[in-house]
Chains A and B, each alone.
Chain A
Amino acid sequence: MAEVEETLKRIQSQKGVQGIIIVNSEGIPIKTTMDNSSTVQYVGLIHQLVMKARSTLRDLDPQNDLTFLRIRSKKNEIMIAPDKDYFLIVIQNPSD
């Protein structure tokens, strides 16, 4: 428990990090540092995206799997680390 907190605090302290969300496989946000409405929006959209990305890779090569997903946009970067049951979403504004 404490390690989880520590990890999250460490991530939050990195430069440019705007928000962190931990989501479970059903799309329920477990932990978040952002306000509720944004969290819900992010979770709803990103969940679908991750499922799609994963299924795409698996279709191309059944032995392959998604390890990390990075979406770079004009304003910031959304990084998604998927796992079997949970995934971690971090929104960062790169320093440059």
Chain B
Amino acid sequence: MPHCLQCINLIMEIVHVYVRRRGDFGRQSHFSDRPAELLVDIGPDPPLADGFIHRDPRDVATQSAQEMSEHQVNTERFESESRGINHVEGGWPKDVNPQEMEQTIRFRKKVEKDENYVTSVLQLGSVMENCIKQNNATDIYQDYSEDEEAADEVQEPPAAKTVNVFRDPNEVKRTVTGLSWHPDGNRKLAGAYSCLEFQKASKDMSFDSYIWDIENPNRPELTLKPVSPLVCLEYNPKDCHTLAGGCYNGQIAFWDTRRGSQPVELSSVEQSHRDPVYKLIWMQSKTGTDAFSASTDGQVLWWDMRRLSEPTERLVLDLSREGSLDAALGASALEFEATMPTKFMVGTEQGLVLSCNRKAKSPAEKIVCTFDGHHGPVYALQRNPFFPKNFLTVGDWTARIWSEDIKESSIMWTRYQTSYLMDACWSPVRPAVFFTVKMDGVLDVWDVLFKQNEPTLSIKVCDEGLYSLRLQESGRLLACGSRLGGASLLELGPSLSTLQRNEKSLVAAMFERETKREKILEARQRELRLKERSRSEQSREDDGAKEADGQEDPEELIARAEADFFSAIDAEIKRRQKEEDKHRVGGEEEEEEEEEERAFQFEKVLKTQQCCCFYFCHFFS
């Protein structure tokens, strides 16, 4: 009530006062009934109406339309199965038994005598003969437009469409953290399912990972049951029945699809990684059973699948070359190119990419060089299949292309995107195309020959973040995995999956050009640094000479420094005045000389300033 009184502007408060004697506190209340009492009567105040404007007419919107509401309907999943039918002859009239040869022959003979039959057959025969002869004369289905290459010039815009989505059959959805295509024919896709968010994995989260047949999205073809959720999973390129996976608890597991869902071999817990295995790659070897794995615990381990009890080799990613795990960098990506079997690259959590040589003589020499460019963990690392000297990395909000020769910075990079990039890979058929997936569920297709500052094609695959990406060898199909366990299969349009004319040479030229640019920049930087260094060395020499004069009073030092400083300033001022006078007189060549002199003078002033600073520091230290 008080608030409505405020608008009336009366300073009146309606107060109820309850009075009770102290001694009566706590006594039982006696309630009684009484008639209603009018406390306040606030009548209408005509002068107030002047503060309001009468509004006539008033607009009210109505619509004389049928009321409709929007509903969405999704039919139940329809499961279909293929079945065959066995044909048995039918249609025989009731009096004829199809099994009896006699009866059927008799029936047939009767039909053949029919007038109708004869005319029909004759007529049909002539029609048929015509077509048969036609077929024999020319191939009526011959493709005449094959010869016209000009049609290719009209490029369709790059496009990709979702073909299928494979959903995690479990109740509790896990992230698809790894994908691998079947090496032979690519009809199967293996997905590693786990929850990478720290401690977010619920107790009833299943550990299973699945192998899907891409024709059947309803049910996975095979379930793999590891002891701990799989973070990464790879088919053996040499033997399409075997797979290896890295677990969340650091162990490596080896499966044979012919032997069922349980791993055939499992590495021992003591000898494995101490952190989730982020990447596992099969190596080229005579036995076809070698693989190596990397994890954020800072180790890269080499394994022989026949004997997973302990790794065959171990490398600690310690830049100080001491092999201490505490100082090691956690690895989040791994790269191996079969054409260069002794080299491999590791992408770290700290944003560095290490290039390593497996065949180095001592463990200290294993890490050859580092590439520093990302602010966050490097989640993907892959060499360009056509140009192995250039590789792609993805981390923080950018994707970068590097050249092995330039270690200071990447040669090409994308703009900082709005969301985190989680995975990337090159197209296996087009050297200029690469794909990235982001945390906002968008798949970007980048074509460096077409457009460099933004993706050629951006597709929103799903609402949740995309964590992994893999292209099939043919370059047409692409699988990407999301946070809620949905692996989407996309088919790329022909312009993205066929090698364009001159593409290889254009891309080679582009990489060359960018590498050269970086080299020039690097050389320039080096020069500048050298100059700086030599200058500071020179000034230090001067200081050294002055100090050799013997112990001087700090006060004298200060006095001398001041004197030097002021004299230098005076000289500069005088020189400037002289210049102005000369200016009025004219003379350009002299000006140039003046410029040079001025530059030299300025340097001298700077040097003296540095000396003074040095003096002061020396004094104060």
Contact = CB atoms under 8 A, between A and B. Distances in A.
A26 B131 contact: no
Q: Which one of A28, A79, A94, A95 has the highest number of Cβ atoms from chain B below 10 Å of its Cβ?
A: A28
Interface string A23-46: 010111111000000001101110
B387 to A, nearest CB: 39
A17 B132 contact: yes
Nearest to A16: B136
Given A4-B112, A77-B135, A94-B136, A41 B87 contact: yes
Nearest to A84: B120
Interface residues of B, number: 33
B124 A86 contact: yes
Interface in B90-129: 90-93, 107-108, 111-113, 116-118, 120-129
B135 A7 contact: no
B88 interface: yes
Contacts of B124: 81, 83, 86-88
A63 interface: no
B123 A83 contact: yes
A72 interface: yes
A86 B132 contact: no
Nearest to A41: B87
Given A4-B112, A11-B129, A86 B92 contact: no
A16 B111 CA distance: 28
Given A27-B91, A28-B89, A86 B121 contact: yes
A1 B113 contact: yes
B116 A14 contact: no
Interface residues of A, number: 41
Contacts of A4: 112, 117-118, 121-122
Contact of A90 (B92, B128, B139): B128
Given A86-B124, A87-B124, A88-B124, A28 B136 contact: no
B141 A72 contact: yes
B108 A30 contact: yes
A43 B91 CA distance: 11
Contacts of B139: 94, 96
B16 interface: no
Q: Which one of A10, A81, A96 has the highest number of Cβ atoms from chain B below 10 Å of its Cβ?
A: A81
A29 B121 CA distance: 13
Interface string B79-92: 00000000111111
25 contacts: A4-B117, A7-B129, A10-B129, A14-B133, A16-B136, A22-B121, A24-B91, A27-B91, A28-B89, A28-B91, A28-B107, A30-B117, A31-B112, A41-B87, A44-B90, A77-B135, A79-B132, A81-B124, A81-B128, A85-B117, A86-B117, A88-B125, A90-B128, A92-B132, A96-B139
Interface of A: 1, 3-4, 7-8, 10-11, 14-17, 22, 24, 26-31, 40-41, 43-45, 68, 70, 72, 77, 79, 81, 83-88, 90, 92, 94-96
CB-CB nearest 4 A-B residue pairs: A26-B91, A7-B125, A27-B91, A44-B87
